[in-house]
Structure 1
Amino acid sequence: MRASRLLSALLLLSARGRLTARQLADELEVSVRTVYRDMAALHAAGIPLYGDAGPAGGYQLLAGYRTRLTGLTAGEAEALFLTGLPGPAAELGLGAVAAAAQLKLQAALPAELRRRAAGLFERFHLDAPGWYSDGDRSAFLAPVAAAVWEQRVLRIRYRRWRAPTDVERTIEPYGIVLKAGRWYLVAAAARAGAAGPDGDEAARTYRVNQILDLTVLDERFERPDFDLAGYWAGHVARFRAGLYRDEAVIRLSPAGRRRLTELMSADVCAAVTRTGGPPDPDGWITATVPIESRIHAETEFLKLGAEVEVLGPADLRDRLAATARALAARYG
C-alpha cells in the first residue's frame, strides 16, 4: 500500500511540479504527517526531491529529473492489455499499429508486470460478437475510419429498411461505434446548415455493412464539438424506448421459463419476473410481456415451441395458431 502511495506521490510531483504537503495529502487522501514521512522516504531512496518552507513553499523534484516509472500497478497493466481487441483494430486497418503499440508497452513495463501482462493472452480471450454471428464484414470500414480521422466528406450509396431502400447521401463522418460485433457510422449531412436525410440537421446512425458504394471526396469539413459517447448513449436509449410498442399475455411452462434467458431479451425476462403469477397445478405461469410487433413477436415466441401459449392479443394468437397448423400439415 505504501509503495503504491510513494509512486503516486512521485508521479504527481513529476506531472504538476511544486505541490504543498496539504495538496499532496488531499490528492493521496492521507494526513499531512503521512506526507512528511513519505517525502523523507523518497529523499532517503535517492530521489532528487527538496522542500521549501513558507507560504510559497512546497515539495518539488530537481529540474530536469524524469522518472522512468510508468506508475502502473499489476492490475492496471493487465486491464490496459485487456482493452486491446486485435480483431476490431485489424478491421479498422490498425492491426499493425495496435500490435506495435502493444510491443512498446510490454518493453516499457518492469519485468514482473511484463510477465503478468503476457500471461493474459494465455488465460483470457475477448470475443465481442454474439453467438449466432461473427459480426459485420465490410470492405468500406477501413476507408470510413480514415475519413473520420482525416475529416473528409463521404458520398455513399446506402441500403436502409424503409422505401426507397437504396439512397445516396453526402455526409460528414463524426465517429464510428462497435456494438455487439456490428459497426456503425455516426455522421451528419454535408455542408453546415444543410438539411439531413429526413429534413433535419441532426447526426444520424448508419450501419457500415449496409454501405453499398463509397467515395471519399477531397473536401474536408470542420468537425463540431460533438460528443460521440453522449450521442450514442442517447441513440441507444431512444432505440430501447421505441422498441416495444405493445404487450402480450402468455403462459409459460417450467421448461419455457428455464429457456427464457437464453432466447428472449432482458426486458421480456424482467417482465415475466415482475408480472408472472403463481404457478398452476402443472407449473405454468401467466405473465404480461412487451413485444415489438406481431410479426416479430410471432418469430420470438416460436423459439419456445410448445412451452409457451399466447393468450392475447387475439390476432397474435391467431397468427401462431395458423403457423402451428401449417407446421403440422408440413410434417404430418
Structure 2
Amino acid sequence: MSKSTNMLSILWLLRSGRRMTAQQLADELEIHIRTVYRCIDALCATGVPIVADSGPGGGYRVLERFADSPLLFDGEEQKALLHASAFAEEAGYPFGEALARAVDKLKRYANAMQLERMERHRDGLTVIHPPVDERQRELLRVLEEAGAEGRSVRMAYDKGRGEGPTEREYDPYGIVHWKGAWYTVGYCGLRGQLRSFRVDRIVRLESSERRFARPPEFSAKAHLMGELLPGALDADALTSVVLQGNDMVLDMLSQHWLFGHALVSREPGQAEYRIGTSALQTYVPYFLLPYGKTLTIREPAALVERLADVCSELTEHYRTMMKEQGSDTNER
C-alpha cells in the first residue's frame, strides 16, 4: 500500500476509539512497525492530534474531540473556504502557497458534481484589492512566524518623510490588515514603547537571538485602531450620536470601520452610535462630510456645530483659492 493509504488506514483505526500500540497497528495492516512510526509522524505533522500513552495498556490514540468530528467538509463549508481563500489571496495573505494546497485537497477528493459546484462558487466571487508584491508577502511571513515563535527581529523602517530608514529591534506581537494595507504591531526597542508600522515601509528584516513573550490578552487590532483613530472608542468617554436618513445611506455608513463598531441600535431611518467624545471634534465630522444632506444629525448638538464649522472652513479655503487663481489669471 502507498504511504497515504497507510496513513488513512491508521487514522481510521485510531478514530474507532481504540488505543493501539505500534505493533498492533502493524499487525492489523500487515506492514512493518517502522512504517507505522513514519506514518504516525506524518499524521502529527498534518495536524492530527495523536497522543502516545506509555505504560501497561498504553498505545496511540486520537483526542476524543477529533475522533467525534467529521473528516470531510459539507457543501456550505467548502464554499466558505473557497471564498475565504479568494479574499486572502487578493489581500496579500503571506501563506498563499499553503492555502492553495489546502484548496487543491478539497478539489482532489471531490467527485465531478462536487468539483463543478465548487468551481461555480469560486468563480462567482471576485475581490478587488490593491496589489501586494512578493517582497511584502515575504516580510509578512517573517513577521508572523517571528511573532508566533516569540522571536525578535532587527528592522529597518522608512517613515516616508525623506529622512532615510532607521534601525530598531522589534518584537512583532501581531499583524493587522486594515483598509487595503498591512500593519505590524509590537514593541519598538528604539522608542521603548508599543508601536505600529506599515509593512510596505519596512526596508529590511533580520532575525535576532532575543526572545520575547507577547503580553496576555494583547489585541493588535485594538492598539492599531487606538493609534489611527485615537479616542474614537474610548470606553471612558463616549457620546451618543443619533443619525437619521435613508436606510441605504445608513447601511453604507455602517460599513465604515468606526461607525460599524460603534453601532448601538438600528431601526428604519435611524441609527445610534457610541463614539469617543474627543473624536467628534476631530475626524468624525470629516467622515460624515461626504454624505452631505442625506444625513440628519439628531444629537449631539456639538457635532452639528463642529460640522458647520468644518464646512465654513472649507468654504473659506476654496474661496481663497478662487481669488488666488483669479489673481494669477489677471497677471497673465
What TM-score results when the alignment is normalised by the length of structure 1? Answer: 0.52
Q: Secondary structure at the match of 1:242?
A: coil
Quote the Cα distance in structure 2 between the aligned partners of 1:288 and 1:73: 40
Contact 1:173–1:187 (8 Å) recurs in 2: yes
2:219 maps to 1:231: yes
Structure 1: segments with no counterpart, 5+ residues: 1-10, 20-55, 61-68, 190-195, 278-286
Equivalent in the alignment of 2:86: 85
2:174 maps to 1:184: no
Which region of structure 1 is more displaced relative to structure 2, 76-85 or 263-272? 263-272
Count of paired positions: 248
2:205 maps to 1:206: no
CA 1:309–1:320: 2 relative to 1, 3 Å:
farther
Per the TM alignment, residue 331 of structure 1 is displaced from its structure 2 partner at its CA by 6.8
Equivalent in the alignment of 1:116: 117
1:1-332 equivalences under 5 Å are 14-15=14-15, 17-18=17-18, 70-85=71-86, 88=89, 91-92=92-93, 94-125=95-126, 127=127, 129=129, 134=130, 139-149=135-145, 151=151, 153-159=153-159, 167-189=166-188, 196-200=189-193, 204-211=195-202, 213-217=203-207, 219-222=208-211, 224=213, 231-232=219-220, 234-235=222-223, 242-243=231-232, 259-263=249-253, 265=256, 266=259, 270=263, 292=279, 294-306=281-293, 312=302, 317-327=308-318
Quote the Cα distance in structure 2 between the aligned partners of 1:208 and 1:112: 42
CA 1:152–1:110: 2 relative to 1, 3 Å:
farther
Per the TM alignment, residue 294 of structure 1 is displaced from its structure 2 partner at its CA by 3.6
CA RMSD of aligned residues (A): 5.1
CA 1:178–1:304: 2 relative to 1, 3 Å:
closer
Q: Secondary structure at the match of 1:188?
A: strand
Per the TM alignment, residue 84 of structure 1 is displaced from its structure 2 partner at its CA by 1.6
Structure 2: segments with no counterpart, 5+ residues: 1-10, 20-56, 62-69, 324-332
CA 1:272–1:327: 2 relative to 1, 3 Å:
farther
Q: Percent identity?
A: 18
Contact 1:156–1:214 (8 Å) recurs in 2: yes
CA 1:167–1:199: 2 relative to 1, 3 Å:
same
- Whichever residue aligns with residue 324 of structure 1, its letter is T
Quote the Cα distance in structure 1 between the aligned partners of 2:175 and 2:74: 31
CA 1:231–1:143: 2 relative to 1, 3 Å:
same
Please list the CA deviations of residues 258-292 of structure 1 after superposition, one character each: whole Å capped at 9, or x if unmatched. 63443574269947969x99xxxxxxxxx997662
Please list the CA deviations of residues 176-202 of structure 1 after superposition, one character each: whole Å capped at 9, or x if unmatched. 33334321223334xxxxxx45445xx
CA 1:168–1:77: 2 relative to 1, 3 Å:
same
Contact 1:251–1:308 (8 Å) recurs in 2: yes
- Whichever residue aligns with residue 317 of structure 1, its letter is A
Please list the CA deviations of residues 188-224 of structure 1 after superposition, one character each: whole Å capped at 9, or x if unmatched. 34xxxxxx45445xx643221243x22424x344464
Quote the Cα distance in structure 2 between the aligned partners of 1:306 and 1:168: 48
Quote the Cα distance in structure 2 between the aligned partners of 1:119 and 1:258: 29
CA 1:247–1:268: 2 relative to 1, 3 Å:
farther
Per the TM alignment, residue 316 of structure 1 is displaced from its structure 2 partner at its CA by 5.3
Per the TM alignment, residue 297 of structure 1 is displaced from its structure 2 partner at its CA by 3.8
Equivalent in the alignment of 1:8: none
Contact 1:158–1:168 (8 Å) recurs in 2: no
What TM-score results when the alignment is normalised by the length of structure 2? Answer: 0.52
Contact 1:160–1:210 (8 Å) recurs in 2: yes
